[in-house]
Structure 1
């Protein structure tokens, strides 16, 4: 067996190296660009918003189908063995997609290629969370772990927010100044270079089974179906739906205003506040429990989205988007923090990948549905969909409180059984709320 890593009081960046964070950030951009890039290219080439929405939805479906499989493979084989081939295949498919669009004589060819792009999507964000959690757990002293974990999850969520905002902006810039195929080609280059660099970075060893070690303890897959995990998956799905519905309805609104090219830039307004406040969550006191953070920031999101839905001018929409960012960023931080605490033993990469897949799938499906509604019923009707998604996030915050209370009762009953000499029974999906 290999020797365990030394535990010390040095900052996390000393263990990762200074280049890890920029590489990990750039590695997640292809994932953030591919849904919008595929949508933009198909709509530009075919003139059909509905077909573009369906094609981008196929990317999301492929992602969510592959997510649990990829996460399980990473937990068992390590990140390098999985991410390197995935990144290479994904970059090749992205590079080929513009040619498929140009040559396709049937819609199913576009949908099938988009599905395979999603199936091979290397979810660097989920892998980064899993990797950093392993480093914190194995190499940092106990006194530094809790605060470092909180700050790291805040950074990761802010990085996700920034990537999901920068991705559409980059797509808009490349499509406007070069050609509609340029964003997909750019994603292919980024995937080839930075996903490979991320996969080969020395920190990948932290989240990989060591050669010659005994097999790692991995909880059975059924532990992923416990309520404390499922409620988080459902909430991240709702957040993804919020992203997709907001971007698509905003695009439809700006199309009515005669300035559709500015939609991605306006979308970036939401991302600025989202990323900043997501980072600020790290300084919140630990006594401000995660369940109440979720409820508070989800309520802010609902109120701001209601204003967005009722807005009739570009100025009002811009203000509403800025406030929406103040709700969605901290909500994502809270969800991923809860997921890290509740992940079954040995299933961290699986849980993080499932969450990333949920966001991508929901974003794609919401884009498809919202795009079809906008085409048939107009932008005003489409702008109701973000409010529905935000309302689901808030509703699930209430459900989460009930789930936590039930889990505590089960835990207390289990401890009482042990104290009374009864059988010892592990409580899976344990709940931490601070």
Structure 2
């Protein structure tokens, strides 16, 4: 039977010094990502009067944001959050305001809109990967880190649900460009509070890692292969989850159901993901993360395949909710594996590769399922969407020296924490978990 000490609670995560302040600041900044897409899309459609132009500009904005994410994360790893993340966020905020200004001016050329959107997307600060790197720095205990990643994933899910609702309230009383400006303010204020937190200061640039010698990055020997499993699974889950949106719409259309039915099914997916994420974080797993990841990926795939056989709305809601139970655990475990696969100074970019994989998978899934729905029976489309995630479960997991390096670093830091403090260090503020 598990003892309380062997299963630390979520409250224990937030009781770590500086954790609440840092996490709250990161969530404020990340709320911007939940508001900007809808606000920008509405602003573009009102400005141009063309869904095609709005879609093209949004695609450019999303492409530069997603595919340059590992590069931006490498800047954070190399220079530290204060020197890289804050200028990035401020520039992103300024460019969003510029985009709001050109959207508010009817007749602006498509080229100007596209270029401004591309520049803004290219500067999107990697707040999510950086926050996860901060969690890894604050919490050397793997059990606490698992809970931190779980609560982080659930909170992010809620941000992407509440963000569009906030924009909906804004457009009811003001222009949608106000939502774009709000997104700029959120990311600037949140990032400023985040990088000034003492917990964020614990993230040292990769070039400052001493005593262990130079650490290879994610592309270094062994570490690129170690990231293959979490990145592929993250991309596959992104494909499968994004396919659900259009598949549910098609399901409702075939049976003459209204838009309200679609909303209920998608809400069930989000609810299942939140419940699954919290449950995954609360379990004291004895199996290694690389063994659990295929199980979660297969769970997503099998439940989605079963959803295609649903005879009615009630069973579809149940099947999709069951699929959601595996989504957050799959992504959380992928981030955990990415973190333990690399040296401490390269965590941000490792997490960014998983982020990029999820977003790229969602874009690819949305495009592919649109083609399939017009050519194949709906149950087959559900099965194909599920098969993508299930196939990712077959990707083998490789280990690298990153986990060993991290374990050794934690051991040395714990041993330093148990020693009496030297007189010359007494004037310095203490770090959580004895870290310097």
Quick one: structure 1 residues 44 and 315, their matched pair in 2 at CA, closer, same or farther if it must change by over 3 Å? Answer: farther
Q: How does 1:240-259 map to 2 (within 5 A)?
A: 240-250=238-248
Residue 127 of structure 1, CA deviation:
0.6
Which of 215, 220, 229 is equivalent to 1:218? 215
Q: RMSD of aligned C-alpha atoms?
A: 3.8
Residue 130 of structure 1, CA deviation:
0.4
Q: How many residues align?
A: 390
Quick one: structure 1 residues 213 and 149, their matched pair in 2 at CA, closer, same or farther if it must change by over 3 Å? Answer: closer
The residue number in structure 2 matching 1:85 is 87
Residue 128 of structure 1, CA deviation:
0.5
Q: How far apart are the structure 2 equivalents of 1:154 and 1:265?
A: 24
Q: How far apart are the structure 2 equivalents of 1:282 and 1:398?
A: 24
Residue 315 of structure 1, CA deviation:
4.8
The residue number in structure 2 matching 1:420 is none
Does 354-363 or 196-205 show the bigger shift?
Answer: 354-363
- The unaligned stretches of length 5 or more in structure 1 are 1-9, 138-144, 408-426
The residue number in structure 2 matching 1:130 is 133
Q: How does 1:55-94 map to 2 (within 5 A)?
A: 55-94=57-96
Q: How far apart are the structure 2 equivalents of 1:44 and 1:366?
A: 27
Quick one: structure 1 residues 244 and 172, their matched pair in 2 at CA, closer, same or farther if it must change by over 3 Å? Answer: farther
The alignment partner of 1:347 has SS state of: helix
Does 83-92 or 249-258 show the bigger shift?
Answer: 249-258
The residue number in structure 1 matching 2:410 is none
Q: Is 1:198 aligned with 2:205?
A: no
Quick one: structure 1 residues 225 and 133, their matched pair in 2 at CA, closer, same or farther if it must change by over 3 Å? Answer: closer
The alignment partner of 2:68 has SS state of: helix
Quick one: structure 1 residues 136 and 285, their matched pair in 2 at CA, closer, same or farther if it must change by over 3 Å? Answer: closer
The residue number in structure 2 matching 1:397 is 393
The residue number in structure 1 matching 2:230 is 232
The residue number in structure 1 matching 2:113 is 110
- The unaligned stretches of length 5 or more in structure 2 are 1-10, 406-436
Query: Is 1:60–1:363's contact at 8 Å kept on the other side of the alignment?
Result: no
Query: Is 2:206–2:345's contact at 8 Å kept on the other side of the alignment?
Result: no
Using structure 1 for the length normalisation, give the TM-score. Answer: 0.75
Quick one: structure 1 residues 211 and 396, their matched pair in 2 at CA, closer, same or farther if it must change by over 3 Å? Answer: closer
Using structure 2 for the length normalisation, give the TM-score. Answer: 0.75
Residue 133 of structure 1, CA deviation:
0.6
Deviation per CA, 1:185-214, whole angstroms, max 9, x where unpaired?
332221122122212222111113499985
Query: Is 2:35–2:163's contact at 8 Å kept on the other side of the alignment?
Result: yes
